[in-house]
Structure 1
Amino acid sequence: LLNMLCDIMADSCTSMVSDLYIYLSIIYLSIILSIYLSIHTVTLHHLKAGGSTFILKSTVAALGRPFCLGMLYDCRRDQLVPGLTLWDHEDLKNNIREKPQNYSDFEIIASESIEDKSQALKVEASLKASFLSGLVEVGGSAKYLNDKKASKDQARVTLQYKATTKFQELSMYHLGRGNVKHPYVFDKGIATHVVTAITYGAQAFFVFDRSVSEKEDHQDIQGNLKVMIKKIPGLAIEGEGSLNMEDKDIANVKEFSCRFHGDFSLQKPPSSFQDAVEVYQNLPTLMGVHGENTVPMRVWLLPLTVLDSTAAHLIRQISIRLVQGVQRVLEDFSELEMRYSDALRTATAHQFPQVGKKLKSFKQMCLLFKLEFQQNLAKKLQSIRGGGEEEAALAEILMKKQSSPFNSENLNVWMDCKEREISILKSFTNMMKNTKIIPSQNGLHEETLSAEHAVCFIFTSLGSAEPYLSALSNYLKVSIKPDDPQDPHAHDVEKEQWYLSKQVFDTLREKKGVSQHRVQDQPSGGF
């Protein structure tokens, strides 16, 4: 449409020789352009103003942040600017237009990906980048974005309830030429946009989890969970407070746990399926008769450069391709966090402290790297949006991560090795029945002092140094560029594992058999 307008202007300038006609043509095109900008709903528009490019950001998700009409907003940091306004409080309260916007719906979410959670909350790519970097702190129902599965042995399905009640906007009394009461605010350079309209409502997420045992099929449990959650909007609580369900279904849902993230004030958050049904039924009432308990859901932003061309503005946005790259990095870390948390919870990790110690060290280094990655990301986002750097600066961060020892492939290979090691140790301990496992040298001394005969089977390789862990540690201590040569120990992770040595493994099996034979030959007083 912008190209079409430019063509029209060019034709007009050619055909209309009179200055009057040219002047009227420009006014006509300005009116069309204003209408186009006021009704256009795409999130980002690139316009020219005073020779420099700025971006018109039309709407953003509120995400539990305390927006109000007339509030200033800095899109470079995706943060509110409290305390300063362009109008007096009384001026803001008066002449606000309002219209009802009654709507409600529910949705079932069976995915745990950042992408699907963002879509549920209508978070566009740029705001998502700010959230992933830690620039945006969410509240209310948006805390759902931070709710992650603690274990891979966990089935999860989420029920989302969403409703809107009204739409409010500023009028030309506020936005008209000469109506800004405090124009000096433009000179501060601390904001890029002003809030001109808000949709109010509320939403809630009921997150249901169920543990999945080794004997159960994860997909079957997930499917069953989804079927039961879909029934909630149509369920009723009977007079005695019991669910109107078949006995087998009631027994089934007792295994579900529930966590609640919402924009509603509850006396007690639901923790069970039945609690969730009761809360869900009361959600429309909790918003208030006239919607007085609702919160901002979606916010419309107007660039300050529309009101004053000298105001600070958003120079460029982050491409979706790079946002997706950042998203993949953090999703990989989330998956890794589940894996090492599961490994640390195993009995084997407690029985063999050397294994647990390495896992804890690995966990701490991953968390530290992730934090540094997010901090660097936050700095680059602000700089790029403000025009201080090009997008290539963000691409370099992603490239540096990929070329580091912390690349996803190496991290996951190391976890594969630890999970295999735990599985092998578990297999050996299961075969050596009636054998006491002692985790420390001090514990061994105590046991040998109280026994007449003792046969010790010692796993000597568990405490061996792992060069890959050293490579991770060294990387965190120094600043390395993407094209710098990497520590050779950052690769070939599998070659370092003791159980892949045929000699060690054969010796292990042989001595396991010898120790079992000797234990059987000992009198009952030994162990």
Structure 2
Amino acid sequence: MVLTKPALGEDVQLGMLHDVRSGQFFAGLSLWDNNVINAKQQVEGQQVQDPDFTYTTSLDDARVWAGLDLEGCLNLDLGITKATGWAMYLKDNTTNIYEARIDVSFRVARRIRRIPQNTLSLMQHQHNLDDPRFTHFVAEVVEGGSATLTFVQSCSSREEAKTVTSRLKTDIASFLVGIGTSFDVASQSETDAENLKISYSGAMAEEVIDMEHARVIARGMPTKLGRQLNTLSYTLLPISDLESSVRREVRAIDANLVAKVAAVLKAGSTAWTALTNLAEKDVFRISFPAIEKQIRNFQAAFAEAKTGFTASARRILPELRDGTTDYNTTSSELLAAAALFEQRTKLAEQFIAKKLTEELVLGETVASLLNDGFENRLGPFTTTSLAKTEAPRLLLSFGGASISRYQHPLQKELASTTLDSARSGSFDTRRSTADSEDDEDDDVEDEWFENQRTVANVREACAALRQQRLFAPPTVSFGVSSIEKAYRPVAGSGKMKRVKTIPGDIVLQQDGRLLIVTSLLPTAPAAPKLAIKDQLLTATWSRERSEAEELAIPTSGFTIRFRPLPNALKDGAFPRATPNEAFTEILCDAETTTVVIDKSNNGGVSLLDDCDYEVTLCVETPVGPSARSKCAVGRTLRLPSVASRMIDFYFNDKQRLSCQRRGATPWELYQTGGKDSLFLGLSVKAERRSTQEPFLDELAVRIVDVAAEFEPEIEAALTQDQDNTIVVVFAGTSGHGKSTEINAFISYLLGGEVDDPVRLMVIDDRGANQAQAVTQCVTCYRIRPLSPLFEGKTLLIVDTPGYGDTRGVERDAFVTAAMSEFFKTIGHVNAIIFTCRANEVRTTLLSPVSTYVFSLFARDVQGCLRTIYTFSDAGAPLARAALQELQWPVQNGEVEVNNAAFTIEIDNQNVDKLRDWWLMSVKGQYQVMQMLLRMPPVPTAQSAAVTKTRLTLEQKCKLVEKKILRTANDAQNLIARLDALANAVGAAPGDKILVIQDKSVEKPVPGGKATTLCLDCNWTCHKICAYSDNEEKKLCVAMTGDKCDQCKGRCHWTRHKNAQHIIVVEQFSEWVVPEDLIKLWNTNNNTLEGALLNAINTYLALQEELRDDILILAQMTEVLKSTALLHDPTALLGYIQTLILTARARGAPPEQLLQLTTAKNTLLLTLEVRKRGVQASVQSQVLLQVLGAVREEMHRRMKLQPRERATEEAKSCSLYNNLRECLPPEIQSKAPDPLKVKRVNWMGRTIAGALYPENLQAVVKLVQVVLKDGGVVAALAAAN
């Protein structure tokens, strides 16, 4: 039988003896000496080319490529044969059951050495053929080089292993390019180098550091392997080929038997690897070392079983190949050993499956608790270390026999399996019931995580600990641990017994002891029983905890929690409580079982009447309170409302309350065809009169106490007390229900009901029409906290006069003055409420209110602005869009109310409808009060400054208006007189005589020469000077000391410079007009100009004053723009224009029209100043500039001597052109064109420029342009 096998790294030589039964070579024994072999051998050399290359993705594929058959693989796994050198990668060194593996192998076959068949019989051999150990000899060897790079990465699943293998294949392909190899890959990837293990199998051991190092090794392999002559494979011939008389019977083993043994061995190896991985899991290794030890013990037992099976297989397989043994008996023995190990492997697989399940349950449970903030007390913690604490600690324990046992029942089962049971086939992994009853701890089925009751207990314990942690104080800690034994309370004995724990036990660690408190944590008690008497609630409960509960976690007290609760079915239109009211707690000791709930434990405030109260109970313990009991609900009795008590108070003392008193308005019952009204008495506490013109000494602010005679023991907070006084300002257009809303709101606060005999009123609107406001001054109604709705706050309701009524803008202006006094009186405000009809869409009516509010208040009250829509019905209020157009911040908060039921009497026909409307009104008022209680106070200091600036601005505008109109008239007069002057100024007389005069002239200095010129005297002190440097002029001969001898004033030498010319005196002759004629002409001109100068001086003085006033207006406007909510006179201007047209249409008296016109002019002026800012004074500035220049020119000409004046008049004048160049661009573009100037044309002729009279006429036109379109003066003049 000829056999060809891989050398597996062994140094196999020709002639070596081999036993195929045991797979062994006999070192040192050969049929021939080397010199004989070398002489007789046949060598076939091969040319070294590219190496054979392959890559495999599993150990089985690698072995097939290496030439190992199934029996050869089995021999290698059993250790019958060894793999060394280049074949080391063929050994099973798996460390993880899920691995991504790629073996990249290179092989270079350099030569084949053999002994030819015809030579064998002729060769002499040593006398070794008689030894029965030898069956074959080596007749041929293939030599060369081989090496393999192995890439292995551990994975967590089979799917991950596939993915990683694909990625490894892609990455490895990148460094094999160019060395004769190729991979079928799509693209490159990146490998997780940190977890990748790379090894090298070759003739010489070599350590591979990383992927880059592997790349270097791979590229050097072809060259390196091409120089090696290691044995790659060999061929065996039977000894009988040499000597026919020597025969060795070698039996072939049944392939099925080999496959069976290999499969069993592989399954065992896989189980061994899984046990190793299992023991290394963090849950067991770190958190549960007892389970890790249990796994290690089982692994040791299984290792012993595996070693036993391997030894049996290594012994039996050679016997099977030996033809002298009984094949059937020997094969049966091997099958029995394989069956026994297969059964033990199945036990190991069961154990592994159980532990994986346990690891999953433990891992998820512990991780969930640790993520919730529980302490990690797992691992190598002893009971002693756990006991070192004084503060309570609640622990979820995973302990007990099923977790901490040293030997698992399956391990005992594994040890109890025998070869006899394997032969008989009677093995069963299930234990009998009797065995289970005899040894509870060893029961195979007794796994805690397989017991549904135990798993449920663990979940319940987790939920209980999480629940208790919600209520526990910070001193109580929570954690996870593994405790073997702890004390458990024994019911009826009052003692503790130390017992074993089970998984899911809750253990209390306190005062050095560990107590099992599973199912003993405080639980929610039964709801307390309530008894109601008047405004008192009495809560009663019983002590329900068992003796064991009290022994483990004693009760330290009870906590009663209560709060008012809204009840839509019983509260009706007047709910006493709001949703989500705050709880009040009462702490009781452990012996108390009854508590009375009244104002003594309610912050000194009596319980609300006619209101549901919910009461809950919880048990206090050292580990925190229990969950709260179910709510017990009781309702207090209804007490008479404040409104009903007020009505009774009035009728009981009607005579006294109805009497007139100084400084007070009496109570008054008003009976009409509708609902009777009771006007509450008002007591004046303070008044403030206006200090502003034209409303000087007129009543502006009044503060009154409402119903001061009723329950006087309830005191009002001071108006300056920002914490206890809520100030709310109501503003609105006349006739939009503002006063009615205030009355309805106060009635709600006092508890008014729909069926009260009378309506409570504060604001008296009797006799008022829809066009006029009820309120005449700013009235502040101070209301004491008479009902719980006030929450102890005093309410100051501010009713402002209405805007836009028929009394005109004078009363609107009064509001500004009155609010100025209000800000001086009240130091803060909480809310500013705009009341308007819900269906009002006309911005012309709403604009005055919003604009005045924006103008009166500073920006810091932006958050105080709120909206109330009166006369509201179904659907969104139409007024919202109009208010948004006016930039009113409706988004701050808005409430819809309808007070139609407030003044209507109930009768049988409308009772249900009226109650519905009443409920609608009360709900709206409730929303208003809730809104007010949440709003913080805002100081009024900045608003006071805004109002003061606004009043000053309005007064200043009226004065400026008169000045503007006056200056406009004066400007027209000046224009006429300037025009007259321009026409009157004529040419000078023309008769001339010859006159000779001396004149100073400049002459150039010869080239390269220097001269000394005095800058002050404009005179040449030294014609030719030796010093050309100005710093050396002190050395000039004209100087004596520091002074010049040639200057009349003895000028200092530093005032002398070098010049390029000298100044000399020469005589000139010319023809001139005689002096007497010039004087007469000059006298006439001076008379005209002198009269005009006086008028110009007067006008300029007034214009300068006007300019300064406009600048002041601009500064005040800038202040308002930066401080007021919104300073925009545009809206009011349209409103005033509408009033003017209406007044004219109905034939209003001239006085009213004059008021409206004055108001319009004031707003117009304010608007122009706001738009232009400091540029509003540009017109006045230009007029000052123009007329000032004219005045200066006239002064200059009048000061000239007659002859000089005559000469000047004949010259071209640039007065107008100079003025025009300095004009602002917006006026310059509209001014007359520039006048012609003196110049020389292209023919060399001189063209004369415009004379003085022409300039005056151009100035006249310029002034007319400025007055027509130049700023506030022009705008105001055009409007009038």
TM-score normalized by the length of structure 1: 0.77
Residue 432 of structure 1: SS of its match in structure 2? helix
Greater Cα offset, 421-430 or 196-205 = 196-205
Could you tell me which amino acid in structure 2 is paired with residue 126 of structure 1? E
1:26-37, aligned counterparts within 5 Å? none
Report the alpha carbon displacement of residue 491 of structure 1 after superposing the two structures with TM. 9.6
> Do residues 111 (structure 1) and 58 (structure 2) align?
yes
CA contact (8 A) 1:349 1:355 kept: yes
1:260-409, aligned counterparts within 5 Å? 260-265=199-204, 268-287=206-225, 291=227, 293-311=228-246, 313-350=248-285, 351-387=287-323, 388-390=325-327, 393-394=330-331, 396-402=333-339, 406-409=343-346
Report the alpha carbon displacement of residue 479 of structure 1 after superposing the two structures with TM. 6.5
CA contact (8 A) 1:153 1:211 kept: yes
1:61-460, aligned counterparts within 5 Å? 61-101=6-46, 102=48, 104-112=51-59, 115-152=60-97, 154-171=99-116, 175-177=120-122, 179-182=123-126, 184-212=127-155, 217-234=160-177, 251-252=190-191, 254-255=193-194, 257-265=196-204, 268-287=206-225, 291=227, 293-311=228-246, 313-350=248-285, 351-387=287-323, 388-390=325-327, 393-394=330-331, 396-402=333-339, 406-433=343-370, 434-439=373-378, 443-459=382-398, 460=400
CA contact (8 A) 2:54 2:104 kept: yes
* Separation in structure 2 between the aligned mates of residue 420 and residue 352 of structure 1, nearest angstrom: 14
CA contact (8 A) 2:417 2:427 kept: no
CA contact (8 A) 2:339 2:422 kept: no
Note the alpha carbon deviations across 1:391-446, whole angstroms, 9 max, x for none: 66335433444356735444323211110110000011012123334446852321
Report the alpha carbon displacement of residue 118 of structure 1 after superposing the two structures with TM. 2.0
CA contact (8 A) 2:344 2:417 kept: no
**Which residue of 2 is the match for residue 48 of structure 1?**
none
**Which residue of 2 is the match for residue 474 of structure 1?**
416
Residue ranges of structure 2 left out of the alignment (5+ in a row): 180-186, 434-442, 479-1280
> Which protein is richer in helix relative to its size?
1
Could you tell me which amino acid in structure 2 is paired with residue 315 of structure 1? V
Note the alpha carbon deviations across 1:10-39, whole angstroms, 9 max, x for none: xxxxxxxxxxxxxxxxxxxxxxxxxxxxxx
**Which residue of 2 is the match for residue 26 of structure 1?**
none
Residue 188 of structure 1: SS of its match in structure 2? coil
CA contact (8 A) 2:347 2:414 kept: no
Could you tell me which amino acid in structure 2 is paired with residue 426 of structure 1? G
Residues 356/167 of structure 1: CA separation in 2 closer, same or farther (3 Å cut): same
**Which residue of 2 is the match for residue 499 of structure 1?**
449
Residues 287/304 of structure 1: CA separation in 2 closer, same or farther (3 Å cut): same
* Separation in structure 2 between the aligned mates of residue 164 and residue 404 of structure 1, nearest angstrom: 41
Could you tell me which amino acid in structure 1 is paired with residue 202 of structure 2? D
Residues 277/491 of structure 1: CA separation in 2 closer, same or farther (3 Å cut): farther
Report the alpha carbon displacement of residue 147 of structure 1 after superposing the two structures with TM. 4.4
| Residue identity (%) | 19
CA contact (8 A) 2:319 2:330 kept: no
* Separation in structure 2 between the aligned mates of residue 456 and residue 188 of structure 1, nearest angstrom: 74
CA contact (8 A) 1:200 1:297 kept: yes
1:31-70, aligned counterparts within 5 Å? 56-70=1-15
* Separation in structure 2 between the aligned mates of residue 57 and residue 215 of structure 1, nearest angstrom: 41
* Separation in structure 2 between the aligned mates of residue 346 and residue 331 of structure 1, nearest angstrom: 23
Note the alpha carbon deviations across 1:26-70, whole angstroms, 9 max, x for none: xxxxxxxxxxxxxxxxxxxxxxxxxxxxxx132111111120011
Could you tell me which amino acid in structure 2 is paired with residue 397 of structure 1? L
* Separation in structure 1 between the aligned mates of residue 25 and residue 281 of structure 2, nearest angstrom: 45
CA contact (8 A) 2:109 2:145 kept: yes
Could you tell me which amino acid in structure 2 is paired with residue 129 of structure 1? L
**Which residue of 2 is the match for residue 241 of structure 1?**
none
* Separation in structure 2 between the aligned mates of residue 66 and residue 273 of structure 1, nearest angstrom: 31
Residue 403 of structure 2: SS of its match in structure 1? coil
* Separation in structure 1 between the aligned mates of residue 98 and residue 74 of structure 2, nearest angstrom: 29
TM-score normalized by the length of structure 2: 0.33
Out of 472, 475, 487, which is 1:524 matched to? 475
Residues 491/258 of structure 1: CA separation in 2 closer, same or farther (3 Å cut): farther
Residues 332/270 of structure 1: CA separation in 2 closer, same or farther (3 Å cut): same
Residue 236 of structure 2: SS of its match in structure 1? strand
* Separation in structure 2 between the aligned mates of residue 85 and residue 405 of structure 1, nearest angstrom: 41
* Separation in structure 2 between the aligned mates of residue 249 and residue 369 of structure 1, nearest angstrom: 46
Report the alpha carbon displacement of residue 507 of structure 1 after superposing the two structures with TM. 1.5
Residues 391/329 of structure 1: CA separation in 2 closer, same or farther (3 Å cut): same
CA contact (8 A) 1:130 1:381 kept: no
* Separation in structure 2 between the aligned mates of residue 395 and residue 145 of structure 1, nearest angstrom: 30
Could you tell me which amino acid in structure 1 is paired with residue 450 of structure 2? L
Residues 358/294 of structure 1: CA separation in 2 closer, same or farther (3 Å cut): same
Could you tell me which amino acid in structure 2 is paired with residue 458 of structure 1? S
Residue ranges of structure 1 left out of the alignment (5+ in a row): 1-55, 237-247
Note the alpha carbon deviations across 1:477-521, whole angstroms, 9 max, x for none: x87551164365469997332212122112122222223444551
Report the alpha carbon displacement of residue 171 of structure 1 after superposing the two structures with TM. 3.4
CA contact (8 A) 1:270 1:276 kept: yes
Note the alpha carbon deviations across 1:77-101, whole angstroms, 9 max, x for none: 1110122222233212212110123
**Which residue of 1 is the match for residue 584 of structure 2?**
none
CA contact (8 A) 1:201 1:297 kept: yes
Greater Cα offset, 375-384 or 517-526 = 517-526
Report the alpha carbon displacement of residue 347 of structure 1 after superposing the two structures with TM. 1.5
Could you tell me which amino acid in structure 1 is paired with residue 259 of structure 2? Q
* Separation in structure 1 between the aligned mates of residue 195 and residue 377 of structure 2, nearest angstrom: 37
* Separation in structure 1 between the aligned mates of residue 265 and residue 66 of structure 2, nearest angstrom: 19
CA contact (8 A) 2:261 2:338 kept: no
* Separation in structure 2 between the aligned mates of residue 169 and residue 97 of structure 1, nearest angstrom: 5
Residue 94 of structure 1: SS of its match in structure 2? helix
Residues 426/324 of structure 1: CA separation in 2 closer, same or farther (3 Å cut): same
Report the alpha carbon displacement of residue 349 of structure 1 after superposing the two structures with TM. 0.6
Residue 274 of structure 2: SS of its match in structure 1? helix
Report the alpha carbon displacement of residue 474 of structure 1 after superposing the two structures with TM. 2.8
* Separation in structure 1 between the aligned mates of residue 224 and residue 432 of structure 2, nearest angstrom: 56
* Separation in structure 2 between the aligned mates of residue 490 and residue 67 of structure 1, nearest angstrom: 53
**Which residue of 2 is the match for residue 27 of structure 1?**
none
Residue 244 of structure 2: SS of its match in structure 1? coil
**RMSD in angstroms over aligned alpha carbons?**
3.0
* Separation in structure 1 between the aligned mates of residue 99 and residue 3 of structure 2, nearest angstrom: 39
* Separation in structure 2 between the aligned mates of residue 519 and residue 340 of structure 1, nearest angstrom: 38
Residues 149/190 of structure 1: CA separation in 2 closer, same or farther (3 Å cut): closer
Aligned pair count? 452
Note the alpha carbon deviations across 1:159-194, whole angstroms, 9 max, x for none: 1212211100123585124x3231x21112121111
Could you tell me which amino acid in structure 2 is paired with residue 188 of structure 1? D
Report the alpha carbon displacement of residue 136 of structure 1 after superposing the two structures with TM. 0.8
